[in-house]
Structure 1
Amino acid sequence: MAMTYDGDGSRIVAKQAMAAEMLDAETELGLARAWRDTGDEAALHRLVNAYMRLAVSMASKYRRYGAPMPDLIQEAGVGLMKAAEKFDPDRGVRFSTYAVWWIKASIQDYVMRNWSMVRTGSTSSQKALFFNLRRVRAKFEREAGAVGEEIRGQELREKIAIEVGVPLRDVEMMDARLAGSDFSLNAQQAGEEGREWVETLEDSTPQAEETVSRDQDLGRARTWLRDALETLNQRERMIIVERQLKDTPRTLESLGNELGLSKERIRQLEAQALKKLRRELEQTTGNAAAMLAIA
Structure 2
Amino acid sequence: MTTNLVLPTIVGGSIEGYIQTVNRFPILSQEEEIRLARCLRDEDDIKAAHQLVLSHLRVVIAIARGYLGYGLPHADLIQEGNIGLMKAVKRFDPERGVRLVSFAIHWIKAEIHEFIMRNWRLVKIATTKQQRKLFFNLRSMKQGLDTMNQGEVAAIAKQLGVKSEEVIEMETRFSGRDISLEPLSDEDDESCSPISYLTDGVDPSQVFENKQISRLCHEKLKESLLNLDDRSRHIIEARWLREKDAATLHELAEELGVSAERVRQIEAKAIQKIRNIVTVAI
TM-score (norm 1): 0.53
Distance 1:170 1:2 in 2: 43
Match of 1:164, as an amino acid?
L
Structure 1, unmatched stretches of 5+, are: 142-149, 192-295
CA RMSD of aligned residues (A): 2.9
Please give the residue correspondences for 1:1-295 in structure 2 after superposition, counting only pairs within 5 Å: 1=5, 5=10, 7-116=12-121, 119-138=124-143, 152-179=148-175, 181=177
Q: Highest relative contact order (Cα 8 Å, sep 6+), 1 or 2?
A: 1
For the 8 Å contact 2:142–2:148, the answer to whether it is kept is: no
Task: Give the match's secondary structure for 2:155.
Answer: helix
CA distance in structure 1 between the aligned counterparts of 2:122 and 2:161, rounded to whole angstroms = 23
Write out per-residue CA displacement over residues 10-29 of structure 1, whole angstroms, 9 at most, x where no aligned residue. Answer: 33322211111111111010
- Distance in 1 (CA, whole Å) between partners of 2:38 and 2:178 is 43
Shift of 1:173: 2.0
Partner-residue secondary structure (3-state), 2:142: helix
Alignment deviations for residues 210-246 of structure 1 (CA, whole Å, 9 cap, x no partner) = xxxxxxxxxxxxxxxxxxxxxxxxxxxxxxxxxxxxx
Distance in 2 (CA, whole Å) between partners of 1:189 and 1:86 is 43
Distance 1:11 1:182 in 2: 27
Question: Quick one: which amino acid aligns to residue 40 of structure 2?
Answer: W
What is the aligned partner in structure 2 of residue 251 from structure 1? none
Q: Determine if contact 1:129/1:164 at 8 Å carries over to the other structure.
A: yes
Deviates more, 1:109-118 or 1:59-68: 109-118
Change (3 A) 1:175 1:6: farther
Letter in 2 for 1:159: A
In structure 2, the CA distance between the partners of 1:126 and 1:6, relative to structure 1 (3 Å rule), is farther
Q: Structure 2: where are the runs of 5+ without partners?
A: 188-282
2:12 partner SS: coil
Contact 2:156–2:167, Cα closer than 8 Å, also in 1 = yes
TM-score by length of 2: 0.56
The 8 Å contact of residues 10 and 17 in structure 2, kept in 1 or not, is answered as no
Q: 1:151 to 1:104 in 2, by over 3 A?
A: closer
Q: Give the aligned length.
A: 177
Distance in 1 between residues matched to 2:170 and 2:64, nearest whole Å: 23
Q: Find the aligned partners of 2:148 and 2:57 in 1 and give their Cα distance.
A: 42
Determine helix, strand or coil for the equivalent of 2:124: coil
Could you tell me the percent identity over the aligned residues?
38
Q: What is the CA–CA distance in structure 1 between the aligned matches of 2:91 and 2:186, rounded to whole Å?
A: 40
Alpha carbons of 1:118 and 1:42: their partners in 2 closer, same or farther (altered >3 Å)? same
User: Given the superposition, is the C-alpha separation of residues 151 and 52 from structure 1 closer, same or farther in structure 2, using an over 3 Å criterion?
Assistant: closer
Q: Distance in 2 between matches of 1:189 and 1:102?
A: 35
CA drift of 1:135 comes to 2.8
Superposed CA deviations along residues 81-132 of structure 1, whole A, max 9, x for unmatched, are 1110111110000111111111112112211221147624244322221111
Q: Alpha carbons of 1:173 and 1:152: their partners in 2 closer, same or farther (altered >3 Å)?
A: closer
